[in-house]
Structure 1
């Protein structure tokens, strides 16, 4: 299964964060056993995801799986929980007994909660034991359903947020720049975005490198390609490239190749 092109979300149950964490966390999810039986059956399967620069925690409630993060291949055993930045193409090769609890952060949200810049994650696969105590993880895994695990973990994250107090000004500036870019129909260039926030381009560049781990140009190209490609797959007949700042379709097609590593014609 390939993100955007296939409905990966059908395998999972989702929950939005509480209001106090909504600025920092995009969603929580957990594998749905019923959906797995219906859509996957008893065969191993693969899930491929494209870059997003959104730090993601995967807590393993099931069985071992193989993870390819960019060019790096990892074997993740059933006792290992991981954190990654999602700065590369990621592919998970799973058994049908796969069961993953996910926390997906917004850009900059991980630092706000944990006080650790997402740039420190880089291209690595980090053991979650380094940021969440093993006692917390063991207790979470002993709980018997998604709602109870979610409630328990969210309280831990709220406590971390209160203790960290990491809502520094550059994180807020980055979030405001991203919101402005999206609200403009992804049309504004870096200079225009910086001016809207009363920043210099150099300062905005530094803030993005600190908060996200990549420069504004690369981040916005990734965000634009991800958003436009999702719309294209869902509404091919009504897709309008101009809505995403592409001056023609060939411009869009070139971005798809950069984003996915393959021509659009080979993926449809």
Structure 2
């Protein structure tokens, strides 16, 4: 199964973060164990995910699995919890009995909430016990509901975030740049964003590399591709390429090949 091209969200339940964390945490999720989705789980044995530069916690509540990262396959045992930056393609090999609790941060969110810069995690799989307290991980691994797990995790994240009340200047500027890019229909160049924020393009480049780990042009291209492809798959009939910064449908197709390495097959046209 391939992210965006196929709806992997059907096999997970989701919860949005509280208002104080909404700018830094994208969502919490957990595998659906209900038998009603078992037929979907049985149809695939892996999930390929495209780059997003979003630090993500995977807390294992079930069976061992494998992850492919940078042409290397890693074994994750049933007691192991991991953090992945997702700066490149990631494939997680699944089993029908998988049960994963996930926390997905926005780019720079890990630094804003926990004071941990994500750049040092490029192309790595990090043991989550280096990031989160052992006691918290044990609470989440107990046989409790998804809502209770969210409550425990969010309580910890919020408490830590409040202690860091003076938000990092670098993170704020990067978030402002991303906001300007999205509001403008993903058509602004870095120089235009710099002008709107009264800073230089050189400064924006330095901040993006400092906070996210990649230049703004590359990150904006990923953001554009992810958003446009998601909209196209969800509603092809009403999809307008110009709404996502593409000149026309041909330009959009080329952009998707650059982003995913795959062409839109006939079933999507």
Same fold flag (TM > 0.5): yes
Whole-Å Cα distance in 1 between the matches of residues 264 and 72 of structure 2? Answer: 25
1:148 aligns with 148
What does residue range 42-81 of structure 1 map to in structure 2 within 5 Å?
45-81=45-81
1:220 aligns with 220
1:267 positional shift: 7.7
Whole-Å Cα distance in 1 between the matches of residues 166 and 225 of structure 2? Answer: 30
Whole-Å Cα distance in 1 between the matches of residues 142 and 232 of structure 2? Answer: 42
What does residue range 251-262 of structure 1 map to in structure 2 within 5 Å?
251-262=251-262
2:41 aligns with 40
Whole-Å Cα distance in 2 between the matches of residues 30 and 267 of structure 1? Answer: 30
Listed one character per residue, the Cα deviations across residues 72-92 of structure 1 (whole Å, up to 9, x for unaligned) are: 211111011111111111111
**Secondary structure of residue in 2 paired with 1:218:** helix
Give structure 2 stretches of 5+ with no counterpart: none
What does residue range 1-268 of structure 1 map to in structure 2 within 5 Å?
1-34=1-34, 35-41=36-42, 45-165=45-165, 167-265=167-265, 268=268
Cα gap change, 1:168 to 1:63, in 2 (>3 Å): same
**Secondary structure of residue in 2 paired with 1:126:** strand
Cα gap change, 1:216 to 1:11, in 2 (>3 Å): same
More deviation, 152-161/49-58: 152-161
- How many equivalent pairs are there? 267
Q: Is the 8 A contact 1:44 1:93 kept in 2?
A: no
Listed one character per residue, the Cα deviations across residues 174-198 of structure 1 (whole Å, up to 9, x for unaligned) are: 1111111111011111110111111
Whole-Å Cα distance in 1 between the matches of residues 266 and 220 of structure 2? Answer: 25
Whole-Å Cα distance in 2 between the matches of residues 165 and 82 of structure 1? Answer: 27
Query: Normalized against structure 1, the TM-score is what?
Result: 0.95
Query: Normalized against structure 2, the TM-score is what?
Result: 0.94
Coordinate RMSD, CA, aligned: 1.6
1:37 positional shift: 2.3
More deviation, 71-80/155-164: 155-164
Whole-Å Cα distance in 2 between the matches of residues 135 and 267 of structure 1? Answer: 48
Listed one character per residue, the Cα deviations across residues 225-259 of structure 1 (whole Å, up to 9, x for unaligned) are: 11111111122222221111112333222221121
